[in-house]
Copies of this chain bind each other. A is one copy, B any other.
Amino acid sequence: MKVLIVFAHPEPTSFGGSLLDRGAGALRAAGHQLEVSDLYAMGFNPVASADDFTQRRFPDALQYDREQKHASAHHAFSDDIQAEIDKLRACDMLILQFPLWWFSMPAIMKGWIDRVFVNGLVYGSGRRFDAGGMKGRRAMVSITTACYPGMVEHDGLLAHLDINLWHLQHGTLAYAGFGVLAPFAAWSIHYTTPEKRAEYLDDYAARLTGIEGESPMPMHPLEDFGKDWRLKPGIAPRTIGHRRALEQAR
């Protein structure tokens, strides 16, 4: 497989940096081709703006998603965006690795999504979920966090991890067409022993070594929804985000 790792951490000597190196080594050892976008090292600009386009369809007022669509059709993205789009379209698997900040990505990675997941290629004109631009590829979220696992269980202080990551795993990655694998998490990193850290690195390497055989989490195909965008009668909710509907109906 061609694997793209997008990495966002302000400190290369962090445990996150070790996890990146160990994961990359495991993927290469398993015969995969690897591309890494280390956003902090690249000085990646996360702020979407008019500068992102070399020509405009509507020059008077910036409608960002419409200009993305125009730029997709006319090859009119700034060089930094085009380089990331090329990596994204070439990959069979995308790994987003980051420290969990406020139950989401650091801003530098959110900006990578904002600017690189473009209308006209990744989404738009009916491209989403099983018709998404990244259909047939897989994606995984890999986090380091100060949380303890119990905090992000169903009845935990923060509710389930996959509810916290819903906007990213479902609203972004699945929306774009990726099959989304279960996330990898290294917990309460500030308070772990060196032994536990070594164990996380071993676990991550083992997981990535066998990642080609993993199946995505359950997701609804578009045909499960009616013209009102709601699940059709008789379709049982299959995702952690939709199951709430089941509870509501009881």
Contact = CB atoms under 8 A, between A and B. Distances in A.
Interface in A55-110: 61-66, 101-108, 110
Interface residues of A, number: 72
Interface string A211-250: 0000000001010010011110000010111111111101
Contacts of A172: 102-103
Contacts of A25: none
Copies of chain A in the complex:
2
Given A155-B231, A247-B246, A247-B247, A167 B104 contact: yes
A160 interface: yes
A183 interface: no
A241 B237 CA distance: 16
A36 interface: no
Given A110-B107, A164-B166, A241 B159 contact: yes
16 contacts: A10-B49, A46-B47, A46-B111, A48-B106, A65-B146, A101-B114, A102-B113, A102-B114, A102-B172, A107-B107, A153-B229, A153-B245, A160-B245, A243-B247, A244-B247, A247-B250
